[in-house]
Amino acid sequence: MSLRRREDMERIADLEEQVAALRVQLKAMQDAIAADAIALRLPVHLTPSRRRLLGLLLRGGVKPHASIYDVLNAFPRADGGPGMKIVDVQVCLLRKDLRPLGVEIVNHHGVGYELTQASIEALKVYAPRDEVAA
């Protein structure tokens, strides 16, 4: 094996290790984001993707489409995965799931989505008692 080929193989191995470490970090970040929504004892069922989306929105402020996409689709797929339209689809489905609870998700056209402050307060009703006091 030539020296150049060996160096290339070592570089590839290093990059694969870095990617693996980043995937672990990303999974931990996704879990942290979803934790806010998972802790809620909602009377509706949410898929894991919609729980992550709700967790992100619960942090307040306008969340850009790209940030939502990253939370929903963290790991690249061989087929390229879904396009950015998946953000709109998941928000639409989350709205439908949360409508009975009076939750409103505002669309900031061309920017992203935001959970209204009134909706954040309304969802606190579903937080475990020990977290409400905090």
Indicate which CATH number applies to the domain containing 97: 1.10.10.10
Domain limits at 42? 3-132
More confident residue, 41 or 31: 41
Q: How far apart are CA 35 and CA 18, in angstroms?
A: 26
- Average pLDDT score over residue span 71-86: 77
Q: Is the pLDDT score of 5 beyond 80? A: yes
As for how many domains the chain has, the answer is 1
For residues 88 and 103, is the Cβ–Cβ distance under 8 A? no
Q: What is residue 46's three-state secondary structure?
A: coil
pTM for this structure?
A: 0.72
Q: Is the pLDDT score of 131 beyond 60? A: no
Q: Is the pLDDT score of 29 beyond 80? A: no
